[in-house]
Amino acid sequence: MSCFNISWTSRYEKYENNKFAGEIPSGLWRSFHLSTLMLSNNSFSGELPNRVAWNMSSVEINDNKFSGKIPDGVSSWLNSVVFKASNNMFHGQIPKEITNLSKLITFLLDGNELSGELPSDIISWESLNTLNVSRNKLSGQIPAAIESSKTSKV
């Protein structure tokens, strides 16, 4: 039996600070009632899914081995409030589609291999409290929308 076989009523899954490895089963990302998924400080790998559970509000996957691009499908993660993906191996640009996440409060992507510019028209900058994109290969200008926001870290 896998440790990822969860009940249909689970809203909160925490597997942090272990030695788990391998890819996350797709069913866990889309588990019907799951709102919080905490997988930080393991050796999980693979790419992020285009879709997650409809009510997923917090994804914390810091300090793993996730790779690939942040999928354009992240725009469907409409209830996302927290997205922490520091210290992984993500590459490519931060997709413009992330601009649809108007509830996003914490957005951490530091310590990856991301490149290009920050999307300039991010709606969620208005709700964002914490943004950390340090230790990447980003270029260009800091979007003017950040200047007028209450964001605490860049």
**Rounded CA separation 75/95 (Å):** 9
**Rounded CA separation 128/1 (Å):** 39
Q: Which residue has the tokens 């964002």?
A: 128
**Rounded CA separation 22/2 (Å):** 12
The tens-digit pLDDT sequence of the chain (154 residues) is 345 554 445 688 999 999 999 999 988 998 888 999 999 999 999 999 999 998 999 999 999 999 999 999 998 999 999 999 999 999 999 998 887 888 999 999 999 999 999 887 766 567 888 999 999 999 998 877 666 555 555 5
Sketch out the chain's domains with CATH numbers: 12-147 (3.80.10.10)
> What is residue 99's predicted lDDT score, i.e. its pLDDT?
79
Q: Amino acid letter at 24?
A: I
